[in-house]
Amino acid sequence: MSAAYLLKEVPDRFYGSSITISELAKQLGGANGMLRRLFLQPEQNEAMASYWGTVTDHWMKRSATSHEKPDICLWGSGSLLLNLRAYNALREPLSGQGEFLPITVDLDPMYVFNCLTWGKEDMGLTETQYVDGYEDGIATLAFEPDDIATKLVFKSRLAGAGLVFVSHSFKELIEGHQLQGLRFDADLMNPF
């Protein structure tokens, strides 16, 4: 099956990351240009292992009802945050589709998965959105089934590299390992 999903958080139940891009830049040495480099990283699809260092983060409530640490959740732009159970379950299947970077979240060892894989959009099913006669992003998005058939996690050049999309196979892996913290939306352009 070659269905694709947009990954989303579950803020009414799970905590999320509190780190900002400027805090991350400081932790990575704060050298001139680091903030810009991090800002451009998802679109430029740059591996971060060469300049990754000791990084710490903290959980924060995403809503008034957030009360659990997730096994896996969105992190930053175009990345995932995995606890050790999620990392052990996904390390091998995700190898070659991105990189795993060590991080400590409230004293717990975890990993950031930096997605470095693009999905090929199906231009016959992807529609441009117009506002007052001007292009304003995309209204609908679809990926080529043959392209994503071998991919688990990927980004879209058209929808913006900060979003994380996954295949049905990834959804099955998450459900099979009973990993909590993500929701899968089949409406790839639904902002909610």
Residue type at position 11: P
The residue behind tokens 């900060």 is 162
Per-residue pLDDT tens listing for the chain (192 residues): 469 999 999 999 999 999 999 999 999 988 678 999 999 999 999 999 999 999 999 999 999 999 999 999 999 999 999 999 999 999 999 999 999 999 999 999 999 999 999 999 999 888 887 888 887 778 899 999 999 999 999 999 999 899 999 999 999 999 999 999 999 999 998 888
Q: Which pLDDT belongs to residue 81? A: 98
| Other Cβ atoms within 10 Å of 108 Cβ, number | 12
Tokens of 131: 């506002």
| Residue 52: closest CA among 117, 118, 104 | 104
Phi then psi dihedrals of residue 175, to 5 deg: -65, -40
Cα torsion angle, 11, 70, 148, 176, sign? negative
| Residue 170: closest CA among 146, 153, 155, 149 | 153
Q: Which pLDDT belongs to residue 7? A: 98
Quote the pTM value. 0.93
What are the boundaries of each domain within the chain?
4-185
Q: Which residues contact 100 (CB under 8 A, 6 or more apart)?
A: 82, 87, 91, 94, 111, 112, 113, 114
**Backbone φ/ψ region at 106: left (φ over 0), alpha (ψ -120 to 50), beta:** left
Q: Which pLDDT belongs to residue 127? A: 83
Residue type at position 88: N
